[in-house]
Amino acid sequence: MAISLTASPDAPLIEPGTSAPVSVQYINTNGFFEIFLWERIVGEKWQLIDLASRVTDPIHDVTKEGIIFQRIGAGQIYQVRMYHEKDANPNEPDMPRPDAQVTVVGLAKGPDPANLAETQEMGVGGTWASWHITTTVPTFFTVQVSAAPPEVDGDGMPFFVNPLAFGATNAFDTNHFLEVASWDLVPGNSYHALVLLSNEKGEWQVLQFALQTKLRKVTIVLDEIHVINDGDFGDNKARFSVWVKEGGKDVRGFNLPEREISDRPDPGKEWQEHIKLPADWSPVVIGPAQVTLENATVSILTRGVAPVVIGKDQIAGNFVGAKAFHDALFRFGIGSADEEVQGAQLTTRAIHLSSDDEFEYSVTAFFTVEYV
C-alpha cells in the first residue's frame, strides 16, 4: 500500500473525567508526492501537523512514516486527514476528498451501552452501503464494513479484525445520512457492518447490520474499428479479431474477414477507415453476476493482421501474452452516484507489435453498467 493511516485504538473506553492515549500511524511509500497531515477534535478547526516537531522517530524519515500521539477524553472525536496537495485546507469549503482519513471516538466506560438510535434505514448498491439514522440526542456516527462477522473484546465491544471500508460524519447531529463506497465492496457479496453512535458525553451504542451487495450486469455494444495507420504507402488489407473477456475468461469472440483498409480513403470509401462492426456482434451481456477476484475486470482484446506480399505480416494488438494494455479495461465507478452508467464509451488502441511495423487501429464500444 502506497499510503495509509491507521489508528490504535479507534474507539477507546475512557473513564469519565480522564483522558486516554491514542496513536495514529501514517505511511507514505509513494515517491511521487509529499504528504500533509491535518488533525482536529470535532467541533474545532483543522490544524496542519508539523511532522518535524511532532513526530520523533530515529529510524524512519518522518516525512514518509511515523506515529502521532494524542490524548482524548470521553465524548471527544479525534480525526486525522492525509492530503498530497500542499495547498489543501480542510477548513475551506469544497475541498477534495482526502487521500486517507481516520476517526477515533472517545467512549465513556460505563455499565451499559446507551439507547441513542431512534430510527434506522439502510440502502445497498453494488459497491456501496448507506445508512439514514436519527437519534434522540446529537450524536457522532461512524461505520465500518467487513467481510467477516465481528468479534467481541474483553469489554464487550464488537470489533472487526480486518475492516474493508470506513465512514464517519462531520459533526454531532440528530439526523445522519452516511454512504460508504469502496473498491473493496464488490457486487453480489455478503458483508457485515458496525455502526457506532456516540454523544458528547461519550455515551454510545453499536448497531450491527448484515448486507448483500447487488449483482453486476454489463451490456456492451461493439461499434467500430478505426484504421489509424494502414501500414502501407497506399491502401492495404487486414483481418481483425475481437474478444470480450470477463477476468481471464472469454465471454465472446468475433472474427472480421480480410477487407480493404485505408487511413486516408478516397471520397465515398470512408468505410475503409471507419469499419462498422456487424450488428449481430452486439449486445454482449455479462451477468447479472457476483463479482470475485477472478472476474472483477471486463475488457476488450483485439488483434489485427495486415498481410504483406514479401516478408512477415504486420500484426497490431492491445495485449501481449496474457497482459492487456491499460485502455483495454472497462473503468467501473463506485458509489451511488457513479457505479451505474448508461452508454459510456470505451476506445482501446491496437498498436503495432514490432518496431518495424506501422499498422495501428482502435476499437470503440459503448457500455452500460447496472446493479440488480
323-357 confidence digits (pLDDT tens) = 999 999 999 999 999 999 999 999 999 999 887 78
| CB neighbour class for 313 (10 Å; exposed up to 12, middle 13-18, buried from 19) | middle
The whole model's pTM is what? 0.89
Q: For position 94, what pLDDT does the model report?
A: 83
- pLDDT-derived band at 367, boundaries 50, 70, 90: very high
Q: What is the pLDDT of residues 152-170, one digit of tens each?
A: 988 888 999 999 999 999 9
List, by residue range, all CATH 2.60.40.10 domains of the chain. 1-109, 111-213
Which helix (H) or strand (E) segment is 315 a member of?
strand 314-317
265 upstream amide cis, omega within 30 of 0: no
Cα 367 to Cα 66, 248, 342: the distances in Å are 44, 19, 7
Instruction: Write b or e for each residue in 119-128: b if 16 or more Cβ atoms lie within 10 A of its Cβ, otherwise e.
Output: eeeeebbbbb
The size of the chain, in residues, is 372
Contacts 24+ apart (CB under 8 A), 108-111: 108/13, 108/14, 108/16, 108/74, 108/75, 108/201, 108/202, 108/203, 108/204, 109/13, 109/14, 109/15, 109/16, 109/74, 109/155, 110/16, 110/203
Q: For position 58, what pLDDT does the model report?
A: 64
Q: Which residue has the cell 485505408?
A: 262
| CB neighbour class for 257 (10 Å; exposed up to 12, middle 13-18, buried from 19) | exposed
Cβ-based neighbour number of residue 106 at 10 Å = 24
Cβ-based neighbour number of residue 285 at 10 Å = 14
Cell of 111: 455499565
Query: 164 with 184: CB under 8 angstroms?
Result: yes
Q: What is the pLDDT of residues 24-39, one digit of tens each?
A: 999 998 878 889 999 9
Residue 101 reports pLDDT greater than 70: yes
∠ Cα 136 139 144 (to 5°): 120
CA distance 14 to 107: 6
- pLDDT-derived band at 181, boundaries 50, 70, 90: very high
Residues near 129 by beta carbon (within 8 Å), at least 6 away in sequence: 122, 123, 145, 179, 180, 185, 191, 193, 209, 211, 213
CA distance 175 to 172: 9
Q: Which CATH architecture has domain 1-109?
A: Sandwich (2.60)
Residues near 64 by beta carbon (within 8 Å), at least 6 away in sequence: 27, 28, 29
CA distance 216 to 214: 7
- pLDDT-derived band at 232, boundaries 50, 70, 90: confident
Residue 217 reports pLDDT greater than 70: yes
- pLDDT-derived band at 311, boundaries 50, 70, 90: low
Residue 165: closest CA among 341, 370, 334? 334
Q: Which CATH architecture has domain 111-213?
A: Sandwich (2.60)
The distance between the two most distant Cα atoms of the chain, rounded to a whole number of Å, is 89
CATH number for the segment(s) 216-371: 2.60.40
